Amino acid sequence: MEAPQIRFDDGAAYEEFMGKWSQLAGDIFLRWLDPATGWRWVDVGCGNGAFTEMLVERFAPVAVQGIDPSAEQIAYARERLAIGSVRFDVGDAMALPYADAAFDAAVMALVIFFVPDPAKAVAEMARVVRPGGSVSSYAWDILGGGFPFAMLQEEMAALGPPPLWPPSVEASRIETMRALWAGAGLVQIETREIAVTRTFADFDSFWKIAQTGPRLAPRLAAMAPGDLKLLKDRLRARVTPDAAGRITYGARANAIKGQVPA
C-alpha cells in the first residue's frame, strides 16, 4: 500500500502548534550549520514559512525557494514573506521541480519523517545543490521521546489510542539520517542533537494549542468526554507551573549536515 501523504492545512494554527517549536530548534540548528550569507536556498517542506523566515532574516540570501505539498500552508508563507527574493511552490520533496545544481543549499526542517520515500527526497536535495553546497535537516527525535507533544501521546496511549507515528518515523533516528546522507553520496557529514524548551502562558494555553495538531486533533475529538477529561487531568499532573502559572518543558531533535562532493 502506498504510504499516506501528510498534509498540514492551516498555517495560523500550525504557527502556535509547531511553528514556534520549529523556530526554537531552527535557531540552534542554523547557528550550528553556520551558512554563508548571499546563498540561494531551497527550503523543502517549508510549510507556513516559519523556518524560511529565519533564513531570510539572518543570512541575506540572494534567493529562497520554498516548496510544500500544502496549498494552504504555501498561501500563508507567501503572505508572511512577500518579498521579491523569496518564492514558494506547491510540490513534493520526492520530485523537486528544479534544475540540477540550482542552489547553494537545501534544507528540510521537521519534514523528513513525513516523506514516504526519504531516500528519494535526500537524493533530490543532493541533485539540486551545486558541488560543494550544503544539504541539511533536523527532525524531532520521535522514537527517542523528543516530539514536543510526546507527553500528550504517552498519556493518550495509556488511555487506549496508541501513538500514530508518521510514515517514515525511522528517518528521525540519527543513524538512519547518516545512512540516508551517505546513500545520497553526500560528504563531510556531521550530526548533533538539539534540545529546546518552550514556555506556555498557563496549562490551559498548552492544552488548547496541543489540541490543534493536524494529526492529534481528530484523534482527540474522537475520544469520549470522560476520557478527554482524564487525559487533561493526567497531563496537568505532569507539568509543574511556576509562580506565574506558566509551564515550561522540553523537546529534542536530531540534526544532520553534509555537502555535495566538490
Ligand X SMILES: C[S@@+](CC[C@H](N)C(=O)[O-])C[C@H]1O[C@@H](n2cnc3c(N)ncnc32)[C@H](O)[C@@H]1O
The least CB distance from residue 240 to ligand X, in Å, is 28
Packed helices 225-238 and 203-210: angle between N→C axes, nearest 10 degrees: 130
Binding mask 96-115 for ligand X (x = CB under 6 A): -------------xxx--xx
Indicate the SS3 state at residue 82.
Answer: coil
Q: Which is nearer to ligand X, 123 or 232 (CB)?
A: 123
The least CB distance from residue 30 to ligand X, in Å, is 12
Greatest extent of the chain over all pairs of C-alpha atoms, in Å: 60
> Strand pairing of 40-44 and 103-109?
parallel
Ranges within 177-216 binding ligand X (CB under 6 A): none
- Note whether 166 binds ligand X by CB under 6 A: no
Residue of closest CB approach to ligand X: 47
Ranges within 119-148 binding ligand X (CB under 6 A): none
Q: How many residues bind ligand X (CB under 6 A)?
A: 25
- Give the helix ranges, DSSP H, for the chain: 11-14, 20-33, 50-59, 71-80, 118-128, 150-159, 174-183, 203-210, 216-221, 225-238
Q: Which is nearer to ligand X, 113 or 200 (CB)?
A: 113
Q: Which is nearer to ligand X, 17 or 232 (CB)?
A: 17
- Note whether 7 binds ligand X by CB under 6 A: yes
Dist. CA 133–CA 40, nearest whole Å: 10
The least CB distance from residue 8 to ligand X, in Å, is 4
Residue 95 CB coordination number (10 Å): 9
Residue from the set 11, 35, 61, 69 that interacts with ligand X by CB under 6 A: 69
Residue from the set 13, 18, 106, 142 that interacts with ligand X by CB under 6 A: 18
User: Which residues sit opposite 66 in a β-bridge?
Assistant: 43, 88
> Strand pairing of 86-90 and 129-140?
unpaired
- Note whether 68 binds ligand X by CB under 6 A: yes
Burial 163-191 (b: 16+ CB within 10 A, else e): eeebbbbbbbbbebbbebbeebebeebee
List interacting residues with ligand X (CB under 6 A): 5-8, 18-19, 22, 44-47, 50-51, 68-70, 73, 92-94, 109-111, 114-115
